[in-house]
Copies of this chain bind each other. A is one copy, B any other.
Amino acid sequence: MNDINERHRIRMERKKAIIDKKISEADKHIGIIVVTTGNGKGKSSSGFGMVMRALGHGMKVAVIQFIKGGMSTGEEKFLRRFPDEVSFHAMGEGYTWETQDRERDTAKAAEAWALARRFLADPEIGLVLLDELNIALKYRYLDTAEVIEDLLGRPLMQHVVITGRGAPEELVTAADTVTEMAVVKHAFQAGIAAQQGTEW
């Protein structure tokens, strides 16, 4: 075996020892709150990837989209194929700069949250995706403290995934895993339109 391979082996052996120790210490099994925020691409799509994982493990899933609803997306078309496994609700009417009507957006958000609460009280649902909820909180269409209270009161093993720009600090504090997605570059900047299959 040559030098580079041997050095690699030794380095990886050390890395494995560190990671194995961390894994043996992380032994709690419990439903978690995952928040994806920031301006980069990948927030909603990572939520839908977790929906896929949950479905693969035989869980039932609920999806509530707080902003989207004006157009039929790939995720909606796909998930509507599995009505026994996925409860899908696109409750929005487009982004808030499209509607320009704060009272209407607030009423729609309240309606969406009332539905979310039903899933957050149902132990049969293994994962709840609250897509773009952060935007509804950022514009104060919903009260963040009340939302967090409902989240923390959910069934012990239920996962919740919350996406959207501008996650409020209180939600970050309440969450278990939080990722900030930053734009390094975006196809849009080079004049490429939002593409079917990647953006929607």
Interface residues in chain A, defined as those with a beta carbon under 8 Å from any beta carbon in chain B = 1, 4-5, 8-9, 12-13, 15-16, 19, 22-23, 25-32, 34-38, 40-57, 59, 73-79, 96-103, 126-127, 139, 159, 161, 172, 175-188, 190-200
Contact = CB atoms under 8 A, between A and B. Distances in A.
A193 B26 contact: yes
Nearest to A190: B176
A9 B102 contact: yes
A57 B36 CA distance: 24
A97 to B, nearest CB: 4
B55 A50 contact: no
Contacts of A187: 32, 176-177
A197 B59 contact: yes
5 contacts: A5-B101, A8-B139, A12-B99, A36-B42, A42-B49
B9 A100 contact: yes
Nearest to A192: B28
Best-surrounded residue of A19, A53, A77, A101 (most CB of chain B within 10 A): A53
